[in-house]
Structure 1
Amino acid sequence: MKKTIIFLIITACLLISLTFGVSAKLNKPEQPKINPINIKLTSKQIAPLETDHVDLNVAGLKYKGAILLECIHPAFGGLSDLLISKDRKSFLAVSDMGFWLKGEMIYNDNNFLIGIKPEAKLGQLLNIEGKTLSSKYHADAEALSHAPGSGFLVAFERVHRINYFKSPHFFDLSGIPSRINPPEHLKEQPNNGGIESLTLLPEGRLLMIAEGDTDYENPSYAAVGIDDNWIEMEYQRQHDYRPTSAAPLPERNILTLERSYTGPGSLKIRLCIIKQPEFKSGAILRPKQLIKIPNSLPVDNYEGLDTITTNDGRTFIYIISDDNYSPVQHTILMMFEMDKSNISNSL
């Protein structure tokens, strides 16, 4: 209910400002006149800084910076997943209010993340009819992935589905999407516990993992495949954690981002590794904790994850938080660097 009210406030603000033209009307949504629009982001480094000592107690894993992102545009926020470009200069994110954001990152000479360029793009996701998503119920984008071949995939929960976006522009989710055929049991997932993790594996198949219901004893739904060829599995949950994103690691390993929240003051975030999973019907994916984000780092509602592995074997890990359009939460982008030998040494 709270996010539905926020969605209505955002669309009302858009209508007043005419930022997205007639698309903000809820009774007859149409394709935006301008999509995306140009916006201005502000960013600042948050502690710990590069000069601070940070010991993660994980061999081969280094903290490489965190930045706070802010914007006065009412639609900014609620970022639920992200992708990083191969050159690690650009990011693309989706929000659970049906928007998408593209920006460029700034590093110092030591490859430490220090900011975001002010110039950014903010767009609205359209449905397969070319209209804006006119309610929070239909706009809840929770996962973002590269598509096999080209383009991007966005997974929605509540109305469980996966839309395919293909634009001639770089890191762009404008245009009218098409629908891909989901696994058979996707539609049976909990209303607010659908696909939160979606990633393209190096072999060309997609891996999806649902957040799952509130009974932490139950596994989360998972599937791997493409089109009509899906293998359905389960993802093992532990210690009140639920998966919120996934990304590939070298040597057929998979990194997952997990969140635990059972009440005020209980938020915990961790990164886990599924080591060389065997994908077969009914299999259980068993993640093992790589690191629980310590309180010495900025801990927030991290939901989005992506990885980039360079030719020399280093893997850069990015996570982004969903501020829930709340004054007490923030949009934070944080980066880690993992050595090639880390997986073998840690598991």
Structure 2
Amino acid sequence: MRLTRRAALAGLGGLVLPGVAQAAEQTRFPVSVSARPLAAFEPRNPERRRFGALQFRSGLVLSSGHPRFGGFSGMARLNEGRDLVAVTDRGYWLTARIASQGGKLTGLADAEMAAILGASGRPLARSGLFDTESLCIADGVAHVGIERRHEIVRFDWAGEGVEARARSVPVPPEIKRLPRNRGLEALGVVPVGPLKGALVAVAERSGKEDEPTLGAILGGPQPGLFKVIRHDGYDITDLAFLPSGDMLLLERWYQPLRGVGMRMRRIAGRDIRPGALVDGPRLIEADLGYEIDNMEGLSVHQENGRTVLTLISDDNFSFLQRTVLLEFELLP
């Protein structure tokens, strides 16, 4: 039987590229990244550009022959979107310059990967803190969430970049009691309002199907816990804050016979406070009829007065999945 992409994602996403486990450990190295443009977000309707509250700008399918490339679960775009930083779920940074032409993404230039360093200066993954699933960078500080160990670490990104060493961020005991593979998938720093400067963390799923999941406000003037309502089997995979202080949530569902889906919600910033139960309208929803994969990373930046959203997928280091980079504009 011919293996389609839908069938591959539905049942065989766990197959791993040969040689990954045997790759020689390198702490910092350049990588050559190929990029294939996506002409449309909905291939069956290539002229369509608007999807819910978003307008599709462009997209790429990224690939590299290096076995460390892949598994991107968190990302940020810095310097008005010119630079990209991402983390893999095996404890590596990816840094690159975004190449574009005519307002469309064309590729990654000067791409480099580096081991995320622990407090001792040794690769973080050597200490068992390898499941690095979330990233945010604000005010020169990078925060990374480690899912299976339910920890958050911070780095002096402005001063040291990929050479920075991890420093532990205290988390409440409720975070430590999250399910082993349903931990912190989403991090963001509140840009304005009563919680300005606080780090917000949200768990992928902290209860049963469609039960609310746990969120935490760390630091700032009003630290505490809150919950996020879940719908339709979606799990939280990332968050990012808009300049207004509203929070965007990236979500994903996976079912063996259906494949994978993606959704984004907007949560009003004023609703995020200790003890709250938050929900918000859907901005976009897509399944495998669209150019998506296992979408896990979300970043927001401003570009010529426009709010640009960038998403990246985690290919789980499987040759049956793709690293997809998508760019949308948030419409007024």
Q: Same fold (TM over 0.5)?
A: yes
The change in CA–CA distance for 1:161 and 1:227 in structure 2 (over 3 A counts) is farther
Residue 297 of structure 1 deviates from its aligned partner by 3.1
The change in CA–CA distance for 1:305 and 1:134 in structure 2 (over 3 A counts) is closer
Q: After superposition, give the CA deviation of every residue in 1:297-340 in whole Å (9 maximum; x if it has no partner).
A: 3120000000113463x21000000000111100010000123x
The change in CA–CA distance for 1:200 and 1:287 in structure 2 (over 3 A counts) is same
Q: Percent identity?
A: 26
The change in CA–CA distance for 1:240 and 1:49 in structure 2 (over 3 A counts) is closer
Match of 1:25 in 2: none
1:132 to 2:142 alignment: no
Matches within 5 A, 1:297-316: 297-310=290-303, 312=305, 314-316=306-308
Q: Tell me if structure 1 keeps the 8 A contact 2:71–2:89.
A: yes
1:76 to 2:69 alignment: yes
1:216 to 2:206 alignment: no
Q: After superposition, give the CA deviation of every residue in 1:188-218 in whole Å (9 maximum; x if it has no partner).
A: 1110011100011102111110001472232
Structure 2: how far apart are the matches of 1:8 and 1:69? 18
Picking from 129, 132, 139, the partner of 1:141 is 132
Larger RCO of the pair (alpha carbons < 8 Å, separation 6+): 2
Matches within 5 A, 1:259-270: 259-270=252-263
The change in CA–CA distance for 1:285 and 1:173 in structure 2 (over 3 A counts) is farther
Structure 2: how far apart are the matches of 1:65 and 1:3? 25
Structure 2: how far apart are the matches of 1:325 and 1:181? 31
Secondary structure of the residue aligned to 1:287 is: coil
Picking from 151, 156, 164, the partner of 2:141 is 151
The change in CA–CA distance for 1:191 and 1:9 in structure 2 (over 3 A counts) is farther
Match of 2:310 in 1: 318
Picking from 183, 198, 203, the partner of 1:194 is 183
Structure 2: how far apart are the matches of 1:4 and 1:305? 23
Amino acid at match of 1:234: K
The change in CA–CA distance for 1:130 and 1:228 in structure 2 (over 3 A counts) is farther
Residue 138 of structure 1 deviates from its aligned partner by 2.3
Q: After superposition, give the CA deviation of every residue in 1:96-126 in whole Å (9 maximum; x if it has no partner).
A: 11111011112222x1222222x21101112
Q: Please, what TM-score do these two structures have when normalized by structure 1?
A: 0.82
Residue-pair matches, total: 315
1:121 to 2:112 alignment: yes
Structure 2: how far apart are the matches of 1:201 and 1:270? 22
Q: Please, what TM-score do these two structures have when normalized by structure 2?
A: 0.86
Structure 1: how far apart are the matches of 2:23 and 2:221? 41
Q: Tell me if structure 2 keeps the 8 A contact 1:183–1:230.
A: no
Give the unaligned 5+ runs of structure 2.
1-11
Q: After superposition, give the CA deviation of every residue in 1:234-292 in whole Å (9 maximum; x if it has no partner).
A: 11110000110011124221111000112243311011111234233221121321110
Secondary structure of the residue aligned to 2:163 is: coil
Residue 36 of structure 1 deviates from its aligned partner by 2.3
Q: Tell me if structure 1 keeps the 8 A contact 2:118–2:166.
A: yes
Structure 2: how far apart are the matches of 1:197 and 1:43? 26
Structure 1: how far apart are the matches of 2:286 and 2:244? 24
Match of 1:13 in 2: 23
Structure 2: how far apart are the matches of 1:83 and 1:141? 14
1:236 to 2:229 alignment: yes
